[in-house]
Amino acid sequence: MGSPTERAFDRGEPHKYVIAFAVVLASLLPVIDSSIVNVALPDMMGNLGASLDEIAWVSTGYILASVIIIPLTGWLGGMFGRKRYFVGSIFLFTAASFFCGAAHSLAVLIFWRVVQGIGGGALMTVSQAVLLETFPPEEAGMAMAFFGLGVMVGPTIGPTLGGWITDNWSWPWIFYINVPLGILAAFGIATYVHDSAHQRRSPTVDYIGISLLIVSVASLQYLLEYGQRDDWFDSKLMIGLAISFVVAGALLVWRELTTDHPVIDFRVLRHRQMWVGTLLGIVMGVGLFASVFTLPVFLQNNLRMTAQQTGIVLLPGAIATALSMWVVGRLTRKFDPRFLIACGAATFAVAMWQLSQVTSASGRTDFFLPLILRGAGLGLMFVPLTMVTLAELSRPELPQGTGLFNFFRQLGGSLGIAAVATIVSHDTAKVRALLSEHVTSTDPGSLARVTMLARGFAARGADAGTALRRAYAVLDREILGQASVIAYSHTYMLAAGLVLALIPLLVLVRKTKSANAAEVMLE
């Protein structure tokens, strides 16, 4: 007869769509929560009396905890049992969400955000492994399409939902809303999900490996989060963090490759598809997050949109991503995954080029087509890339493989955000200086603009000196705004170039149909 999990590999679980709903809901929770929190940070600052640097730890604490947990999920699932660990992580995330909403001090809020990150870090990775074992091999593409809904659509829904909740209720409700959803997801998983027949429990705990992981990942993540603020390697702290990351990271790899029972099994990277797919995932993560991070900031800072308006602008792209993944999930049996990834990269690049043409006078309609194309491109890339990456892994290797793939993709995203923040800041200052050279008292256009502005302020009651100072201040803001638009344009083109770099790297991927890859993966 075989175990329930073995039958799932042959025909799929009889309740596979119920499981998919519960698993996708579980993976959506931490993804949406991250973007919701960013929208509500200003309200938290006022309510808790925190500075900008202090309130930033509400996001940083969560990110550090979740990134450290992601590569440990395979080991933790084997240690506690995948089902028990999955449900426990959801309950931990849900309980921490409640206490975050109930927090009345910054220190308490940060503590529970760290606990929430420990629970949330497992949800995406375990969800991916569960879906691969829930659907039969011929429907592996659909399984990854369901998973992609949580990973790719969540960040787009977050700002809309966060803006609406913050505007109509209050910031604690961005956490309270997780409670009923978390309970629903936990109930579905506890009822229908089974432990993997191939999960392996380590007889020992690799405390040294865990310690090295915490030091290396925390050092790198903090460096990426705050490097731009502290001028990168002009800061002794940032230099120390970089050294800490390199030394601890090298020792971690050496430790895990030489110990009999590693907490992170880097040996799965011996498979060609795995290390190539992971490399492609890093590149995609850099390009993806470079665009995902910049666009909401551009819409709110340059076009003066509210968080809710920004979410509405981004919504068509999220719908396009969802539809694209559903279609690609069905196409994976008919097309070479390399072809689908290349088409997705090209579509994404076209969208980025279109976004690079926007100006400070652009309206909502100017973003509709580029975001539709971006969403379609993401769907075309994500599903086949995930499948080819995991194609050569055996069933026992899947938890470690999914953990490493998501871990490196997340690090690629953090690298992309840090790089974009630096590039935007640098380019804005550089372009502003260049534009200012053409705005002088001898330039007729500049003189006419200042005169017009000064007359406007004088008509509102300002004296001549005050009116002139205000006119120059407005002109300076206009120059800064234009410089910022040009800087964002550069980042969109950079994102296009990075994702296009995926295409030549596809020659390293073995030629195989996605369906065949899924069957190999699940043998």
Rounded to whole angstroms, what are the CA distances from 23 to 37, 175, 189? 22, 19, 7
Which domain CATH number covers 117? Answer: 1.20.1250.20
Q: Name the DSSP letter for residue 203.
A: S
Same domain, 388 and 434: no
Using pLDDT thresholds of 50, 70 and 90, give the confidence band for residue 307.
low
Same domain, 140 and 60: yes
- Read out DSSP for 288-300? HHHHHHHHHHHHH
Same domain, 338 and 468: no
Name the domain count of the chain. Answer: 2
Same domain, 25 and 114: yes
How many angstroms separate the CA atoms of 181 and 161, rounded? Answer: 14
Provide the sign of the torsion angle of the four alpha carbons 299, 300, 306, 307, taken in this order. Answer: positive
pLDDT at 125 over 50: yes
The answer to whether residues 345 and 499 touch, using CB atoms and an 8 Å cutoff, is yes
Which tens digits make up the pLDDT trace of 318-367? 788 878 877 887 777 777 888 888 888 899 889 989 888 887 777 778 88
How many angstroms separate the CA atoms of 134 and 194, rounded? Answer: 9
The answer to whether residues 236 and 429 touch, using CB atoms and an 8 Å cutoff, is no
Same domain, 128 and 194: yes
Which tens digits make up the pLDDT trace of 398-421? 777 877 887 887 777 777 777 777
490 inside domain? no
Same domain, 367 and 449: no
The model's pTM is 0.74
Burial class of residue 243, CB neighbours in 10 A (0-12, 13-18, 19+): exposed
Q: CB count, 10 Å around CB of 20?
A: 24
Which tens digits make up the pLDDT trace of 241-280? 889 889 988 998 888 888 877 778 788 888 888 888 888 8
Same domain, 455 and 355: no
Same domain, 462 and 384: no
How many angstroms separate the CA atoms of 33 and 215, rounded? Answer: 25
How many angstroms separate the CA atoms of 400 and 200, rounded? Answer: 11
Same domain, 366 and 458: no
How many angstroms separate the CA atoms of 409 and 387, rounded? Answer: 14
pLDDT, residue 251, reads 92
Same domain, 11 and 147: yes
What range defines the domain where residue 281 resides?
A: 4-424+495-521
